């Protein structure tokens, strides 16, 4: 099995920790002048997204994680699993709700997503930074009240709820920043 | 694309380094401490298993290839000078430690080392504090190792069971199991100095556990304590001082233990410095301290990474 020595630690390296694949965010060499050397690392658990701080004695070996980020197209959700396809090889992948996480609320089909594979299976999904989605339901707009800066909730075709300005109406298509979950503007104005 | 040839340290940083050296040299002159030089290359080295010397393997005239070491500190030749009767001395020099690279480490760095015949570690701590003041830094607080350790962990570092230290280390994020007591203390201690860097900026730690004596005398206390101190500023280890051991038998035993640990850890053994051992019984009662000048310059200038204070930080890769 592939492994890395602490000497090879750097940000972005994927290692196994407590049976989960993790990515090193930061690696610091710590050593008292007359004492044992350590590597203190900040790591993200790629399954849970949690960030941890851990320390290894320098020179230790740690199992490598077989982790790969690839671009896949989202196809459909069968009620349980989310199906994706590699547009070059036509190979299909299935991700469960835990892997899809929050990204799911922005996907309706055909979006290009960054999918993290661990031992060949999806463990996390990143939606495109911007998506265009139609409003399926929001309270009637208050015409003329465009300057007050007030907002109201709007439900999108995927079920996600975002805050929108009061003048936005049902049926309009919005541009959403999936990293913040915020309304950017109306599609027709972009 | 052309190679990146430019210096990293700014012109202002170069000037501040030169100004720091000027203050140090004036301080030493005012106290009649003599500036000296000793060889950087030697056929023997400190066997301390936590310090890896850089080995130079150049072919020699007679065709043999005896390894020669770059100094990890100028301590041994300076002690031989002291045994020869040179009186108080200091040195500013480059030292080399293989495999140390990081935010606070480079395999080559600048060290200020000085020795005071007739002083113990307490007296030398006072003098280090005076130097900090001359450089415009804060007066350092003082804590015993036990006091500092106990305040943070509730454990007595001298007497508590090793498995308690192991459990605490695990709780604080250490994944490596089966470390010896010294290494566990190293982990716990460096973790607490880092976490507390904002609350207590500048302090000495003194009276180390005997297992961390290095080249210090061990005081006849219960528990036995090493006559050793360290200076920390902003969470960084800046200086390490000893009331120097001058018992050649005890020193040889410690060196042999070091080489034994080297063997156990698969590290090459290091040839002992017989000239030092021959001189050591004649070493006058003295205290000595080694101080990292690059880190001290970081403290003076507020730099967060040692690269900022070095002209060419990446030459050795």
User: What single string gives the DSSP state of each residue in B2-39?
Assistant: ------SS-HHHHHHHHHHHHHHHHHHHHTTPEE----
| pLDDT the model gives residue B258 | 95
Interacting residues of A20 by C-beta distance below 8 A, sequence separation 6+:
A45, A46, A47, A48
Q: Give the pLDDT confidence of B1-39 residue by residue, as tens digits.
A: 788 899 999 999 999 999 999 999 999 999 999 999 999
Using the Cβ of A30 and the Cβ atoms of chain B, whether some distance falls under 8 Å is answered with: yes
pLDDT of residue A1: 72
Please list every residue in chain A whose beta carbon sits closer than 8 Å to the beta carbon of residue B191.
55
Is A35 in the B-facing interface, judged by CB distances under 8 Å?
yes
Measure A66 CA to nearest chain B CA, in Å: 21
Say yes or no for a CB contact (<8 Å) between A32 and B186: yes
The verdict on a CB contact (< 8 Å) between B101 and A37 is no
Cross-strand pairs, B221:
none
pTM of the model: 0.86
Residue B32 has phi, psi (to 5 degrees) of: 55, 40
Q: Judge whether A57 is closer than 8 Å to chain B, CB to CB.
A: yes
Residues A10-51: tens digit of each pLDDT: 999 999 999 999 999 999 999 999 999 999 999 999 988 899
Rounded CA-CA distance A75/A82 in Å is 8
pLDDT at A150: 82
* Measured distance CA(A60)–CA(A40) in Å, rounded: 12
Mutate to test the interface with A, among B107, B109, B166, B176 (most CBs of A within 10 A): B176
- Give the span between the Cα atoms of A39 and A24, in whole angstroms: 11
User: Which of B168, B116, B160, B149 is closest to B287 using CA atoms?
Assistant: B116
8 Å CB contact between B280 and B251: yes
pLDDT of residue A147: 56
- A124-151 per-position pLDDT tens digit: 999 999 999 999 999 886 655 555 568 8
Q: What are phi and psi of B121, to 5 degrees?
A: -65, -30
CA–CA dist B23, B135 (Å, integer): 7
This model of the complex carries an ipTM of 0.91
**What is the average pLDDT score of chain A?**
92
pLDDT for position A148: 57
pLDDT at position A145 is 54
Kindly determine whether residue A34 and residue B187, on different chains, have CB atoms separated by under 8 Å: no
In this complex, is the C-beta atom of A144 within 8 Å of any C-beta atom belonging to chain B?
no
**Which chain A residues are Cβ-neighbours of B186 within 8 angstroms?**
32, 35-36, 38
Q: What is the model's pLDDT at position A141?
A: 65
Residues of chain B whose pLDDT is less than 70? 60, 64, 197-199
Cα–Cα distance measured from residue B188 to residue A41, given in angstroms and rounded to the nearest whole number: 15
Nearest to B50 among A29, A36, A60 (CB): A36
Place of tokens 């060949």: A120
How many interchain CB pairs under 8 A, A with B?
72
pLDDT value at residue B178: 86
Contact by Cβ (8 Å): A94, A81:
yes
């Amino acid at each position: 099995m592939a492994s890395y020595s602490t000497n090879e630690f750097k940000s972005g390296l994927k290692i196994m920790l407590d049976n989960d694949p993790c990515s090193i965010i930061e690696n610091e060499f710590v050593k008292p002048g007359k004492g044992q050397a350590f590597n203190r690392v900040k790591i993200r658990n790629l399954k849970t997204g949690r960030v941890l701080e851990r320390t290894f004695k320098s020179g230790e070996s740690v199992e490598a994680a077989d982790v790969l980020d690839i671009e896949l197209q989202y196809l459909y959700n069968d009620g349980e699993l989310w199906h994706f396809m590699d547009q070059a090889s036509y190979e299909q992948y299935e991700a469960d709700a835990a892997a899809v996480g929050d990204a799911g609320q922005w996907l309706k089909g055909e979006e290009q997503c960054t999918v993290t594979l661990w031992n060949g299976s999806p463990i996390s999904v990143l939606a495109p930074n911007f998506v265009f989605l139609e409003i399926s339901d929001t309270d009637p707009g208050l015409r003329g009240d465009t300057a007050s800066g007030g907002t109201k909730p709007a439900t999108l075709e995927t079920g996600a709820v975002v805050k929108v300005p009061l003048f936005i109406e049902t049926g309009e298509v919005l541009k959403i920043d999936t990293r913040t979950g915020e309304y950017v503007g109306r599609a027709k104005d972009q | 694309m052309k190679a990146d040839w430019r210096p990293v340290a700014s012109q202002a940083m170069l000037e501040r380094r030169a100004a720091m050296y000027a203050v140090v040299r004036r301080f030493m002159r005012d106290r009649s401490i003599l500036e000296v030089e000793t060889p950087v290359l030697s056929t023997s080295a400190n066997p301390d298993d936590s310090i890896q010397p850089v080995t130079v393997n150049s072919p020699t005239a007679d065709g043999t290839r005896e390894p020669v070491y770059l100094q990890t500190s100028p301590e041994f030749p300076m002690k031989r000078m002291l045994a020869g009767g040179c009186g108080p001395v200091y040195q500013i020099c480059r030292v080399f430690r293989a495999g140390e690279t990081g935010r606070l480490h480079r395999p080559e760095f600048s060290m200020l080392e000085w020795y005071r015949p007739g002083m113990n570690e307490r007296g030398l701590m006072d003098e280090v504090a005076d130097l900090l003041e001359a450089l415009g830094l804060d007066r350092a607080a003082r804590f015993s190792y036990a006091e500092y350790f106990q305040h943070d962990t509730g454990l007595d570092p001298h007497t508590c069971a090793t498995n308690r230290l192991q459990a605490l280390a695990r709780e604080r994020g250490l994944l490596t199991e089966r470390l010896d007591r010294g290494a566990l203390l190293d982990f716990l201690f460096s973790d607490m100095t880092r976490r507390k860097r904002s609350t207590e900026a500048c302090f000495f730690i003194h009276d180390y556990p005997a297992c961390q004596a290095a080249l210090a005398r061990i005081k006849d206390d219960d528990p036995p304590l090493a006559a050793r101190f360290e200076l920390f500023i902003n969470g960084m280890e800046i200086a390490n001082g000893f009331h120097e051991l001058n018992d050649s038998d005890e020193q040889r035993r410690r060196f042999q233990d070091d080489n034994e640990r080297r063997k156990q850890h698969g590290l090459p053994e290091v040839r002992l410095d017989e000239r030092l051992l021959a001189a050591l019984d004649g070493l006058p009662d003295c205290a000595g301290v080694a101080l990292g000048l690059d880190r001290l310059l970081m403290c003076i200038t507020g730099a967060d990474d040692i690269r900022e204070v070095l002209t060419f930080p990446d030459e050795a890769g």
